[in-house]
Copies of this chain bind each other. A is one copy, B any other.
Amino acid sequence: MFSCWLSRLYWALSKPTGRTKPLIWGSLSRSLVLSSQRRIPELSSFVARTNTCGELRSSHLGQEVTLCGWIQYRRQNIFLVLRDFNGLVQVVIPQDESAASVKKILCEAPVESVVQVSGIVISRPPGQENPVSHLETKMPTGEIEIKVKTAKLLNSCKKLPFEIKDFLKKTEALRLQYRYLDLRSSQMQYNLRLRSQMVMKMREYLCNLHGFVDVETPTLFKRTPGGAKEFVIPSREPGKFYSLPQSPQQFKQLLMVGGLDRYFQVARCYRDEGSRPDRQPEFTQIDIEMSFVDQTGIQSLIEGLVQYSWPNDKDPVVVPFPSMTFAEALAGYGTDKPDTRFGMKIVDISDVFRNTEVRFLQDALSKPQGTVKAICIPEGAKYLKRKDIESIRKSAADRFKQEVLPVFLKASRNWNSPVGKLIMEEQGLQLIRLLEVQEEDVVLLTAGEREKACSLLGKLRLECADLLEAGGVVLRDPALFSFLWVVDFPLFLPKEENPKELESAHHPFTAPHPSDVHLLYTEPQKVRSQHYDLVLNGSEIGGGSIRIHDAELQRYILATILKEDVKLLSHLLQALDCGAPPHGGIALGLDRLMCLITGAPSIRDVIAFPKSFRGHDLMSNAPDSIPPEELKPYHIQVSWPTDPEAEKSSLNHPCHPES
């Protein structure tokens, strides 16, 4: 319910941050200065009210106040609960004859109507403090109520499709269709206000503390080579199109060439991925670029940024963040974005089985990159049911073409595990030692090509974590925010459709790792990059790199290694030739970050007007048809599909129901 959340938020924001570890480069003292000087904003300036509903306390007793808000609830035509963005307050409806018109207004206005009331703050009769029993939480204004003198109906509300407080229980399609009602819920108000406050603190950190310049870059741009996910915008010149860029990458680099030195932007970006759940066609990133910086510099900047802007109602963030190489992440967690809030790491047990007689293990180990790997699920025997294990084995076989075997300490429980009986006692002891197996644990074992085995176990690790938590184990503390840098990515990856050719692992402007530059000309697939990802609780929330500032190197990578058409990027290559400083940067995904911080089930809950799975605005019904004559100035016409199947597949969306 609307209750203490907002006053808590403002209170939290006005507290000193109470940081414990000093930021490097002296930014701590500054940040403490700013934070402790923060004032609670004036919420009733310039408007008809004297106070917000949620701020009234015993300290306001006897004051004459004017409030504006929505009728949340009415009890027996005697009390009325008035709501605004800042909370709830109880209003006493006058019962005497002389106030008949006030009573009429307050008793007849439907719930969710907008009223303005003036009156005196009085204390509630003894025993009636916080009596609003239908509210789930304590009412911060519960010691007082308003004795109304005058009331004005500002806008009457027609019958709503449903009550505001029930909104979060409704289907998401309905919430999106009536987004303007959904926004009245305390959760959406909290999410959007916290987002605004965090972005503001990020701006203070970047702009006021570290001299970054907020530069707006264009969104009507030229298609980038291979930019298959870019929306196109027809111009008034026949056959000429703008493109909505996926990020300001080129512009931020050009700003460095232009000597801007330190750039940031809360940048709107666009990506047309057809339909993917939990992706939005437009999204926001905190976009940053610096000159004369190295990887450590960017990492320290971002650690300071997160620490400075972190909500004060959460546990403080500890810096520096731990760091892990891509190779370590893959080996230990089977993914490049490990969730480090819990263990169950992948362990290489190949050596245990070097001389095994188990045939499929032998086979696997004899192949190049062949390994045997395992994870140990603590108390798995207690929490994983037989059908869980079977479903795991089946999905591994079906989806990953890989066999997974469960191994139990107690041989009696080795359901369906042909390997159980074949493990020698010596091997069993080695497994117990390597995996630190306890009595009730389950070991999941797989064999095969190294990357595939790790990737599979990485997925099983998360699945098993879900299963354990469904059983009541607290594995991932919701109050814990586990940041992690992942570094030393490969610069190139084999193309999926033709593994003999290489493509950029991230983007073609990423600089190679200084130790690996010589390999570019001999074994480019072995070159590591100066790319870094920021991971939070197993989600990638940011990524960046030191960029190539040497035109020759950039040209070589584009033309010789990636075989791209260099002409399309000639302006960038030319810019690098004109005295480009060494530079690097990063982009943080704001929607995802806010989603993790607020614990929202979807990024749509931290965006005011999100699109549905299928990219629709369910409120206004966008995208919509346009009459052909309005397309004429743009020299385009619709090609109506003749084959309904082709149309279907072009939409390329899984079967997510939409209203």
Contact = CB atoms under 8 A, between A and B. Distances in A.
Given A47-B292, A243-B622, A580-B114, A42 B70 contact: no
Given A210-B45, A261-B84, A617-B222, A232 B609 contact: no
Contact of A215 (B155, B228, B255, B608): B608
How many copies the complex holds: the figure is 2
A262 to B, nearest CB: 8
A298 interface: yes
Contact of A41 (B208, B222, B240, B635): B208
Nearest to A157: B579
A293 interface: yes
A200 B207 contact: yes
B297 A238 contact: no
Nearest to A66: B292
Given A241-B626, A258-B180, A25 B41 contact: no
A76 interface: no
A41 B211 contact: yes
A214 interface: yes
Given A41-B207, A549-B155, A239 B581 contact: no
Interface stretch (A341-349, A438-446, A644-652): A644-652
Interface residues of A, number: 147
Contact of A291 (B68, B189, B231, B640): B68
Nearest to A25: B45
Nearest to A297: B46
B582 A154 contact: yes
Interface stretch (A26-34, A421-429, A595-603): A26-34
Interface stretch (A191-199, A350-358, A475-483): A191-199
B258 A70 contact: no
A578 interface: yes
A188 B235 CA distance: 28
Contact of A223 (B45, B188, B217, B626): B626
A390 to B, nearest CB: 39
B223 A579 contact: no
Nearest to A298: B46
A321 interface: no
A581 B258 contact: no
Contacts of A243: 622
Among A184, A238, A580, A640, which residue has the most Cβ atoms of chain B within 10 A? A238
A255 B608 contact: yes
Interface of A: 25-27, 30, 33-34, 37-39, 41-43, 45-49, 68, 70, 83-85, 112-114, 116, 154-158, 160, 178-184, 188-189, 192-193, 195-197, 199-200, 203, 207-211, 213-223, 228, 231-244, 250-251, 254-255, 257-262, 268, 270, 272, 274, 281-282, 284, 290-294, 297-298, 300-301, 549-550, 571, 575-582, 607-609, 611, 615, 617, 619-626, 630-641, 647, 650-652
